[in-house]
A = this chain, B = another copy of it.
Amino acid sequence: MNWFATPFEALLYLIEVAATIAFALSGVIMAARKRLDIVGVCVVAFVAAFGGGTLRDLLLDQRPFFWVRNVNFIWGILALSVTAMLFMRQRHFQPTERAMLLPDAIGLGLFAAVGVDMATAAQLPALVAVMMGVITGVFGGVLRDVLCNEIPQAFQDHRPYALCAFVGGWADIGLRQLDSPAWLTVVACVVVTAGLRGLALWRNWQLPIWRV
C-alpha cells in the first residue's frame, strides 16, 4: 500500500480501519457470550468484519477480495481476537459496545458507500446498487449471528440499522445522478447513514411492529 494521494483518502482509510475494528469486536463479544474457543472467536470476528464485503464480492463476481489485497487486515483481526481473549472481561462488553456505536454507525455508512460504488461500476441498476450497499454494511453481522446460532440482530432489533444504510445508499445514488464528484457521494452516504442511525438511537425510534 502506498501513501495516500490526498488527506481525504487518508481519512477514508482511517475510518475504514476503525469500522473494521468495531465490526470485528462485535464478533468477538458475540463469540465470548457463546463461550466459543479461540478458533471460533477468530472466525466469528473475521466474518463480522469482512463477511458483508465478501458476500457482495461473491454476488458481483469481483476478485480479489478486500482481505486478499490487504492481508494485514487478517493479521490484525487475529491479533485483536487473541488480545481480546487474554484481556477482555465480561464487564468490558457493555462499555465496548457503547464505545463502538460511533465507529459502527460511520462504518455502516462507509461500507454502504463502497458497496454502492462497486455495484454502480458494474453497471447494475440503482436498486441493486443500494442493496449491495446494505449487504456490505449489514451482512457481516448477519453471518456472525447465523454462525452463532442466533436470529440475526439486524432482522429483529426493531431499531433502524439496515434502513439507515438503505436511505444513505439512495442519497449516494441521487448525487451520482447529478454528476457530483466521487468524494461528495461518499460523504453524503456516510453523513445520511450515520446521521439517521444516530438520530434513531438518540430519539429511540422503533420500527413498526407486527400486530399479529
A186 within 8 A of B: no
Q: How many residues of A contact B (CB 8 A)?
A: 54
Set of chain B residues within 8 Å of A61, measured between Cβ atoms = 61, 63
From A72, which residue of chain B is reached at the shortest CB distance? B127
CB-CB contacts below 8 Å: A175-196 with B: none
Q: Say yes or no for A201: interface residue by CB 8 A criterion.
A: no
| CA of A164 to CA of B146, assembled, Å | 25
Q: How far is the CA of A94 from the CA of B31 in the complex (A)?
A: 28
A sample of 18 more A-B contacts (CB under 8 A), given A37-B155, A147-B155, is: A32-B212, A35-B156, A37-B157, A38-B163, A38-B208, A39-B155, A39-B163, A44-B155, A58-B59, A61-B63, A68-B124, A68-B128, A71-B127, A74-B128, A75-B127, A89-B212, A146-B147, A147-B151
A-B contact pairs, 20 of them (CB 8 A): A32-B210, A32-B212, A35-B210, A37-B156, A37-B208, A37-B209, A39-B207, A43-B155, A43-B162, A58-B58, A59-B65, A61-B61, A68-B124, A68-B125, A71-B127, A85-B210, A142-B147, A146-B146, A147-B152, A149-B150
